[in-house]
Amino acid sequence: MSSAPTSHAPGGIDFTVPPELQELLGRVDAFIQEDVLPAELEIEDPDDILESWHVVEHLRDRARERGIYTPHLPEEWGGLGVGILGMALINQACGISGLASLGLNAMAPDEGNMHTLLIAGNDAQLEEFLRPLAEGRTRSCFAMTEPDVASSDPTNLETTAVRDGDEWVLNGRKWCITGADGAAFSIVVAKTGTDENAGHRNYSLILVPCDTPGWEIERHPEWMGSHSPGGHPIITLTDVRVPLGNLLGREGEGFVIAQKRLAGGRLAHAMRWIGVSQRALDLTAKRLLERKAFGKELARHQGLQFMIADSAMDLYASRLMVLHTAWKVQNGLPHRQEIAMTKTFVSEAFGRIVDRAVQIHGAAGIAMDLPIARWYQDARAARIYDGASEVHRMVIARECLKLAAQGQSTTAATGDLG
């Protein structure tokens, strides 16, 4: 099990996992090895997990029995109160199988929605929306991205929520809304203000039950890569009416709340990518030892050794970036720059590692018999969702240039470890 910096003494560096977290990680590993990986063989169609949802329900029962269910939630909500640093390590372990996070009820978008409700929800909203989600009785989705605008600039979003008496009336279209088919509710990013100078402060978060009249699944586009339960459909909102009390947080705070959600979400994605990358490297190293070409084992060909070495270095750097960033978040230190660098680097390292795995596996690497080809598709998509690499690079460069313009070193914008 990988080590991580402990959460004490923000100024120090300590890569020892606390004993209580080490014990929890052992239980998570046992769950994955003994329950999750065997359960992969029970999934009838990897593109439609809902057809085999009984497998997920069984895994959740096993997670409850092992005392590891919803580790990200506070104890009063049935969780373990594991902080973001601990969740970074748990998500790394879960990355080797998509069923692992589902079994823990700690998968996107539900995990992020649980955090968002805890951040901004009032007591009534927590009972109505969070409790059934935490207990695994419902699923949810987060509706932000739109098909008709460049959503990398969120102030382009066109879906509106207009007050009408004691209700919000929502109109617009959303797409790539993960988990929307069969979800009980959605957190919808909608434009509630009209001040052209207000920018992101014109946007709010609205809780919308998915059985509300006017909420419709328009269609399911074909997407490359793995498919989450509920797909990634296009949603049409036509005069969708919900009570004013379904506003999550304050009006105009939509993106402030969303940014708090996205920090943990991006780290969770990055750690899961590390888990997948590790599994890809393990399979690749094993193949090099098992196959021969030109009179010797593939593992003795220097060019292929270099590919293994490059993947090992990508994994090492990725782990350190995620763990350091998680440590900063957990200690309340500035972390926006580190989040942007981590999301960008790890998503691209994931792509490099899986690309090498495809090449080394040859024809088996592009066959769907093994998971490698699907991981390759997943890796390409990782550079787009939760912020495209180019947008994060813009944020990273902006901070470096701001410091330089002030006559300062850019050290603070490169992890602040100098």
Could you tell me if 232 and 279 lie in one domain? no
Could you tell me if 372 and 335 lie in one domain? yes
Q: How far apart are CA 114 and CA 412, in angstroms?
A: 32
- Does residue 176 come out as left (phi exceeding 0), alpha (psi in the -120 to 50 range) or beta? left
CB atoms within 10 A of CB 417: 8
With respect to residue 118, please indicate whether it lies within any of the assigned structural domains: no
Could you tell me if 175 and 323 lie in one domain? no
Which of the listed residues 226, 248, 270 is the one where a domain comes to its end? 248
pTM: 0.87
Could you tell me if 270 and 373 lie in one domain? yes
With respect to residue 10, please indicate whether it lies within any of the assigned structural domains: no
Which of the listed residues 227, 248, 269 is the one where a domain comes to its end? 248
CB atoms within 10 A of CB 39: 21
Contact between 80 and 105 under an 8 Å Cβ cutoff? The reply is no
Per-residue model confidence (pLDDT) at position 226:
77
Q: Any bridge partners for residue 140, and if so which?
A: 185
Q: What is the CATH number of the domain that holds 240?
A: 2.40.110.10
Q: How far apart are CA 319 and CA 2, in angstroms?
A: 9
With respect to residue 9, please indicate whether it lies within any of the assigned structural domains: no
Could you tell me if 400 and 271 lie in one domain? yes
Q: How far apart are CA 69 and CA 54, in angstroms?
A: 17
Q: How far apart are CA 227 and CA 260, in angstroms?
A: 26
Could you tell me if 220 and 368 lie in one domain? no
**Domain count within the chain:** 3
Q: Any bridge partners for residue 209, and if so which?
A: 185
Q: How far apart are CA 412 and CA 249, in angstroms?
A: 32
In 3D, which of 349, 135, 391 has the Cα closest to residue 262? 391
Per-residue model confidence (pLDDT) at position 360:
95
Q: What is the CATH number of the domain that holds 400?
A: 1.20.140.10
With respect to residue 115, please indicate whether it lies within any of the assigned structural domains: no
Q: Any bridge partners for residue 173, and if so which?
A: 236
Q: Which residues contact 345 (CB under 8 A, 6 or more apart)?
A: 317, 318, 321
Residue written as tokens 């066109």?
158
Could you tell me if 211 and 260 lie in one domain? no
Q: Any bridge partners for residue 234, and if so which?
A: 219
Which of the listed residues 220, 248, 276 is the one where a domain comes to its end? 248
Q: Any bridge partners for residue 328, and if so which?
A: none
Would you write out the chain's pLDDT as a tens digit for each of its 418 residues? Answer: 344 444 444 455 677 788 888 999 999 999 999 999 999 999 988 878 899 999 999 999 999 999 999 999 999 999 999 988 889 889 989 988 989 999 999 998 999 999 999 999 999 999 999 999 999 999 999 999 999 998 788 889 999 999 999 999 999 999 999 999 999 999 999 999 999 889 999 999 999 999 999 999 999 998 888 778 999 999 999 999 999 999 999 999 999 998 888 777 788 889 999 999 999 999 999 999 999 899 899 989 999 999 999 999 999 999 999 999 998 988 889 999 999 999 999 999 999 999 999 999 999 999 988 899 999 999 999 999 888 999 999 999 999 999 999 999 999 999 988 6
With respect to residue 349, please indicate whether it lies within any of the assigned structural domains: yes
Residue written as tokens 């790394």?
92
Per-residue model confidence (pLDDT) at position 20:
83
Could you tell me if 283 and 394 lie in one domain? yes
Q: What is the CATH number of the domain that holds 23?
A: 1.10.540.10
With respect to residue 418, please indicate whether it lies within any of the assigned structural domains: no
With respect to residue 233, please indicate whether it lies within any of the assigned structural domains: yes
Q: Which domain holds residue 327?
A: 255-413
With respect to residue 371, please indicate whether it lies within any of the assigned structural domains: yes
Could you tell me if 81 and 30 lie in one domain? yes
Q: Which long-range contacts (CB under 8 A, 24 or more apart) does 339-342 make?
A: 339/262, 339/263, 339/266, 339/267, 340/387, 340/392, 340/393, 340/395, 340/396, 341/392, 341/396, 341/415, 342/266, 342/267, 342/270
Per-residue model confidence (pLDDT) at position 13:
60
Could you tell me if 348 and 216 lie in one domain? no
Could you tell me if 166 and 221 lie in one domain? yes
Could you tell me if 391 and 261 lie in one domain? yes
